[in-house]
């Protein structure tokens, strides 16, 4: 429901909130496309029609840009368009967690492996995170989750891996614990919002009851698959920003702004001046 970003999310979905000049959902779509994904399922809820409108064609705007000779903007706009049949929308009618959201898509997913991307997690990487995972998945098969190391006091905010064999960037897992207390965390390797999953996980979701936080946890369904030794964690290369939090969103805005050649010099000079003023005030 995006309550951490109220009042902005009273009228717009948090996935449409803009990081520099692109909504969060566009970063997720670009990452998925880079990994070779061509078919998309959006699990939405009431009040998120703006999400559907964003990926629709806008003939009037396109014609205006074309007549004005603004070809560069026209190309940027085309990146937001989805072909008919390449995208489907489903409603999750109750906010009962990520597990329920994925379960809602079970009939469209069918009996194929699938990826899950959470737009809140924005990852800056030379090679997109999901593409890295797809390459690793070609070696391992099974189920794979993106993982990063976190400090013990932050373990209660994540699903934490119980590590079996550690092979460097890829780890075999023998269990997963959703949001444990620091003292109960089996490792410091946390799951973040990128997954490559087998359809058996959907069957597991059929059997699950509410878990941590009173929600149906996707982590619990994946943990069931560790019993057969088919779950891997992948230490991705890149910087993850939690854009579901105000602090993380601001950090991402600075990082992505400084990474843009057209913004870097002016923005960097502004930040330098701001820091100088702050030090002078101290």
Say if residue 98's pLDDT is above 80. Answer: yes
- Confidence at residue 212, expressed as pLDDT on a 0 to 100 scale: 52
In this structure, what is the dihedral angle of CA atoms 194, 39, 32, 149, given to the nearest 10 degrees? 10
Structure confidence at residue 1 (pLDDT): 64
- pTM for the full predicted model: 0.87
pLDDT over threshold 90, residue 197 = yes
Which residue reads 């079970």 in tokens?
106
Tens of pLDDT, residues 216-240: 888 888 988 988 778 999 999 999 9
Whole-angstrom Cα distance, residue 19 to residue 249? Answer: 8
Query: Do 222 and 160 meet the contact criterion of CB atoms below 8 Å apart?
Result: no
Residue whose token pair is 């800056």: 124
pLDDT bracket for residue 192 (50, 70, 90): very high
**What is the pLDDT, as a whole number, of residue 213?**
55
Phi and psi angles of residue 197, each rounded to the nearest 5 degrees, phi first:
-130, 150
Q: Containing H/E element for 273?
A: helix 264-281
pLDDT of residue 65: 87
Instruction: Give just the sign of the alpha carbon dihedral 207, 209, 212, 217.
Output: positive
Residue 210 pLDDT exceeds 60: no
Cβ distance 215 to 110 under 8 Å? no
Q: What is the CATH number of domain 3-244?
A: 3.90.550.10
Region 136-161: what's the mean pLDDT? 92
What pLDDT, on the 0 to 100 scale, is given for residue 252?
Answer: 96
| Whether 251 contacts 241, CB under 8 Å | yes
Between helix 200-207 and helix 218-225 the angle, nearest 10°, is: 120
Spatial separation of the C-alpha atoms in residues 129 and 34, rounded to whole Å: 9
What is residue 172's predicted lDDT score, i.e. its pLDDT? 92
21-69: per-residue pLDDT in tens?
Answer: 899 999 999 999 999 999 999 998 876 777 778 887 788 888 888 888 8
């Amino acid at each position: 429901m995006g309550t951490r970003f109220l009042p902005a999310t009273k009228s717009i979905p948090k996935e449409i909130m803009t990081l520099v000049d692109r909504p969060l959902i566009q970063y997720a779509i670009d990452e998925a496309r880079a990994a070779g994904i061509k078919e998309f399922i959006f699990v939405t809820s009431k009040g998120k029609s703006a999400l559907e409108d964003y990926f629709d064609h806008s003939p009037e705007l396109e014609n205006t840009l074309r007549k004005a000779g603004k070809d560069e903007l026209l190309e940027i706009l085309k990146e937001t368009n989805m072909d008919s049949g390449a995208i489907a929308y489903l409603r999750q009618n109750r906010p009962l967690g990520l597990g329920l959201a994925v379960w809602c898509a079970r009939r469209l997913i069918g009996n194929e492996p699938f990826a899950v991307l959470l737009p809140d997690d924005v990852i800056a990487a030379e090679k997109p995170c999901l593409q890295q995972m797809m390459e690793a998945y070609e070696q391992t098969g099974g189920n794979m989750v993106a993982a990063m190391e976190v400090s013990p006091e932050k373990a209660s905010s994540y699903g934490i891996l119980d590590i079996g064999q550690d092979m460097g960037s890829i780890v075999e897992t023998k269990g997963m614990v959703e949001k444990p207390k620091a003292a109960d965390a089996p490792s410091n390797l946390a799951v973040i919002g990128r997954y490559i999953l087998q359809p058996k996980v959907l069957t597991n979701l059929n059997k699950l009851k509410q878990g941590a936080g009173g929600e149906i946890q996707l982590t619990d369904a994946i943990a069931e698959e560790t019993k057969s030794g088919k779950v891997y964690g992948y230490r991705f290369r890149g910087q993850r920003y939690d854009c579901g939090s105000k602090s993380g969103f601001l950090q991402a805005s600075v990082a992505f702004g400084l990474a843009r050649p057209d913004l870097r010099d002016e923005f960097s000079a502004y930040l330098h001046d701001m820091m100088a003023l702050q030090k002078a005030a101290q």
